[in-house]
Chains A and B, each alone.
Chain A
Amino acid sequence: MLVPEFVPAIFASWYIPVIYAGILVAFIGLIGIAIEKRDIHILILTDIVGLAMLIVVAAVGTDLAEALILPGLVVELAEIMAISEILISREMRKSDKSTSLFPLPLVLDMEIMKTAPNFLALVLLAFGAFLTGFTGGAVAGAGILLYIISRKSRGLPIAVIEGIGGISGIAWCIWIIGFVLLFIAPELWLLSLFMAACGLVLKVSSKLGLIGTMMREEFKRE
């Protein structure tokens, strides 16, 4: 087996047992999916298969594993979110009954939700822009989310939603151009690094902002 010299010997010796453990966990999860009938149980068991995927990727043991685990986690999260929404809306259509949006004892009418959001969102946005990249996007997006959820005025014109989507698409293009430039013109690495980082910060924060806008639209419909 060809192992690069920067992989520690102990990581290389763990490769086989961890791969087998991942395959075993995936097998157990898939058997569970095969014998289960109800949809919500299958959705929960999908989580186990996702964990098996993480174990197999982690067995690589280098920075590559870390770089592969992050998008895997995000994709798994988005997938479970989407499938649970589909399940709920299908049951709603079948039984002609609607349910509460948040069936949790969650009360949002606190004093701090009226007074603080402007300042907090500003601080989070500034810090996110300073960080750039994936982390900065998440921080700035949390600021946008906080602002959108806590504002009293509801109902955003459809042009704004499409505008946020457009920014997201352009940021995606900037990120891809920066990434490609890093390979075809390595001497421009500083420019391409900043293009990728700024594109990603816009992309992630606008995505989180979109989630907040959609949640508010759902509130308004209620």
Chain B
Amino acid sequence: MIDLFDLNIFLYSGIILAILGSIATVAGPGVKDPIVRTLNTEVAAIGVSLILLTYNHTLALLTFVATTVVITLILLRAITRLEEMEAYP
């Protein structure tokens, strides 16, 4: 029987998600498309959120979630503007 309140579960699932997410961002399927690559960083971001959650860093977690959204918006805007100029075929 797994004890759900064992904090180790959350920490190690966060670590595994962060590592798998970064591997997926570097060499995952379909990373030739910059939009797919940007969305893959979200997996690693969820892992980091879990790590911050187990350490009880509330303010850091809130700021992290807010900045992740803003960074994704900035990157998507940069990608669409670059594709509009046909900089990367």
Contact = CB atoms under 8 A, between A and B. Distances in A.
Interface of A: 10-11, 14, 17-18, 21, 24-25, 28-29, 31-32, 38, 40-41, 43-45, 47-48, 51-52, 54-55, 58, 61, 65-66, 69-70, 73-74, 76-77, 80-81, 84, 87-88, 91-92, 94-95, 97, 99-100, 102-104
Contacts of B45: 51
A214 to B, nearest CB: 15
Nearest to A73: B67
Given A18-B11, A95-B85, A45 B64 contact: no
Contacts of A94: 87
Contacts of A65: 55, 57, 60
A29 B27 CA distance: 10
B79 A40 contact: yes
Interface residue SS majority, chain B: helix
Interface residues of B, number: 44
B75 interface: yes
A55 B48 contact: yes
Contact of A55 (B25, B27, B51): B51
Given A58-B48, A70-B60, 17 more contacts: A21-B18, A32-B26, A40-B78, A43-B75, A45-B26, A48-B26, A55-B51, A58-B60, A65-B57, A66-B58, A69-B52, A84-B77, A84-B78, A88-B78, A91-B85, A91-B87, A95-B85
B10 to A, nearest CB: 11
Contacts of B23: 28
A45 B58 CA distance: 26
B22 A97 contact: no
B85 A97 contact: yes
A74 B81 CA distance: 24
Interface of B: 7, 11-12, 15, 18-19, 22-23, 25-27, 31, 34, 37-38, 41, 44-45, 48, 51-52, 55, 57-60, 63-64, 67, 70-71, 74-75, 77-82, 84-88
B22 A44 contact: no
A74 to B, nearest CB: 8
B74 A84 contact: yes
Contacts of B55: 11, 58, 61, 65
Contacts of B85: 91-92, 95, 97, 99
B51 A25 contact: no
Given A38-B88, A55-B51, A91-B87, A48 B59 contact: no
Contacts of A66: 57-60
A69 B60 contact: yes
Contacts of A104: 77, 80
Contact of B26 (A10, A28, A102): A28
